Structure 1
Amino acid sequence: MRSRTERATAVVAAVVVAGLFFGVGLSQGWWLGRAAPPAGPSADPASRAVAVDDDAIDAGVRAALDRTATVVRVAASPRMMRERGQVYQWTARTVDIKARGRAIDLARQLDQHVEPAGAQILEQTPTFIRIGVRRAGLDLITHDIQLIPFAPAARVAILFDDAGGSLEQLDPILALGRAVTVTVLPGLRHSRDVAARAQEAGLEVLLHLPMEPEDSRNALGPGGVTTGMNDVQIAQIVATDLSQVPGAIGLNNHEGSKATADERVMRAVLQAVKSKGLIFVDSVTAPKSVGARLATEMQIRTASRAVFLDNQNQEDAIRAQIKRLILLALERKEVVAIGHATRLTPRVLGEMLVEFDRHDIELVPVSALVR
C-alpha cells in the first residue's frame, strides 16, 4: 500500500492536471459547449492562400457580353482547391447567353476583356466558352458560358463609308462591338492602317471605290473611275485601289451617280471584281445604277443599299433613319444600310443598339447578305 505522503502527492498532481485541462478548455471554448473551430486553410500552417481575382474577371466578362450578347441566366457557386501547400478560393459562374454574332467574335471580345485580370479562354467550341485562370498547371474555372441557339427576327448589314482619313475615326465604330463593315477610300493618309486595324478587330473591310458623279463639282478624290477611261485604265485603277486597302473582301461605290449608270464602265469595274473573287455592294447613289443587275448577270455575289442613315449629319435625323431601318428590317428580314465613319452615325447607333436587341435584329457582316 502507498504511504499517506504518496497519496497526498497523487491528489495534488491530479488537481494540477485538472486545472490545466479546465483552463485550456475555457480558452478554446469547447468546454462551455461551443464547437471547436473547423480546420480551414489557415489551420494548416503549411498552406498559403492564393488570391484569384474572380470579381475583376467577372467584370471583364460582363463588359464583353454587354457588347455582344443577351444574358439569359447566371448561376454562381463557391470553389476551393488545395494543391501543393496552396489554397485557391474563388467563385465559379455558369452563364447562359443569346449571342448576337459569331462565336469567334464573342471569344475575341471576351479574351480582350479578361486578359487584364489574368484570365484566359481555356476551352472553346461553337456553342461553349470556358474562361479561367491557369496557375501551376491547374485550371481554375471562373466562367462556363453556354451559347443558346439564336434565331434573329431580321439581319442588318451596316456599312461605314469614307474611312481612311484618320485612325481615330474607327474608335466609335469599334466601340459598337458589333459586326459592322468598314469601307475605306484609297489613297488617303491612313487608308492602309485603317483597313488593318478594322480587320484586326474582326470587322470586314471593303474598298470604297470613287466613281464619277453627275455633279462635276463633287470632288472625286484619288483613285477615281470616270466614264472617260477605257476598260484597261479602269482595270488598272481598280487594281491599284485594292492594293491600297489590303484585305478588302470587295468594294462598293463612292459617289458614282454617273459612272454606275454607264453599263460599259460598270462591266469593266465588275470584271476586275470577279477576277479576284470579290463581292460588290451597290451603294445606289442614283436610281439608274446598273451595278447590282450586272453583278448578278456576271455571277458576282452582290447586295444593294436600302437605307442611307446620315444624309443629314444631325442626331435627330440619324435617329429617325435608324428607326426606319429597324422597321424595314422587320418587314424585309434582310437589309443593307450605309452611314459614314466621318459623321455622328457610329455614336448615335451605339445609343440605339438596345432597340435592335429588343427586336431580335442581328447586325451582320455585309458578306452574310450578298447573293
Structure 2
Amino acid sequence: MSVKNNLMGKNKKNILLVANYKSDVGYAWWLMENFWATIAGSFDACGRKAVLLYPEVNVVPEKIVKAKIKVIEHDLSNRSFKSLSCLYRIINENDIGYVYLTDRPYCDWLYLILRVFGIKKIVNHDHLPGERSHLKAIKNFIKSILHRFKFMSCDYYIGVSEFIKKRFVEVAGIPEKKCEFVHNGIRIFDNEKTDYVNRMFGIPEGATIIVSTGRAVFYKGIDTLIDVAGEMARKKNREHVYFLYVGDGSDIDTFKTMVVERGLSSRFIFAGYRRDVSRILPSCDIGIQVSHGEAFSLSLIEYLCAGLVTLAPRHCGNGEAIDDGRNGLLFTPGDVAEIVEKIAFVLDHEEEARRLAGEARRTAVEKFSLEACNERFIALLRQQFI
C-alpha cells in the first residue's frame, strides 16, 4: 500500500478505541469496557477488528481479553512529534479507518491530524457531567463554522442523555444533525429484599437504610449528604434512620472526619469500594444521589433497579430517569432542608413509598437495561462506520 493511499484512508476498515485512563481503573469505566466489547463483537462479523489504546497498560480487564481486542499502550493526549509519529504508525500498521472516542474535546486540532493520517470517521461519546454556560454570539459562530466544515470537529457526537445532546447544540455550537443520545444502561439485577446490609454492617433489624454510591469526592455532594444525616439525627422518632455510603475516593478521609466531628459515626457508615453493590442496594430502602451534576447517573439507575425510593437533584440528566412524584422524587440541588423534608415524607407515607419503589423498578427494567442501551448505541455507530 502506498503512502498516498495510507493518507487517503483507502482500504482502512478497522476501528480505533481510545481509553482516557490506565487499564486497571474501575468505577464507571466498566460501562466503557462494555461498549468497546460490543463494538468489537458487532463489527467483527463484517471483517473489522478493534484496537484499543490505553495511556498506560497494567492489568487488562477480563472483558477486553474475552472480546479479543488488540491492546496497545499509547497516550492520545501526548501531542509531541514523537507521539504523533507513533500514532501514525499505529493507524497504518493496524489499517485503522475509524475512531471511537470517549469524553474528548468537542473541537481539537488532533482531529485534523487524524484525517491527514487517513481516518474516515470520528465519533465522540460524551459522558462528562455538569452544566455549561452558553457561548457568546461570536464564539458560537466560530465554533459552528469549525463543526460545519469538520476542520477540527468529529463527524458525530453521542451523548448519554438528551441533556448532553442539547449541550452539544446549544453550548458547543455543533449542528444538530451531527448529534444524538443514548441513555446509559445497567445489567438488571434481582431486587428481592434481604437483610444483607444489616448483617454486613451491623445495622439493627427494622432500621431504614438510606444509601448513596459513587466516588467519594466533593463534586458528588457527600458533604451535603452528611448535612442531611445531621439534620435527621436531630429530629425526634428518626433514631431508626441510617446512612450508608458505598465508594472510595480522594476526599474520603475528609468526609469521615466530618462524620466523627458531628457525632454521626453510629448512624453514617462508610462501606468503601465494594463489588457487591447489586446485593447491597436491595437491602436498603431509599437511594439518594446528591451530585452537583451528572450527565446521566448510573447510580440513579441502579437505585431504580433495586426498587428503592429514589431521590435526586432537579438538574442535568436526572429528570430523564426520574419523573418527579411518579417513580422517584426530585429536589432543589444542595437544599438540605428540602431533602430532609422529602425523606420525612417517604418515612411517614409507607403506601406511597411502596408505590414509588414499584414504579422505580418498572422504569429500570423497561427503559434502562444494558441490552437496550447497546442495541441503540450500535445502531447509531453502524450508521457512521459502515
Alignment TM-score, normalising by the size of structure 1: 0.25
Q: Which has the larger radius of gyration?
A: 1
Higher strand share: 1
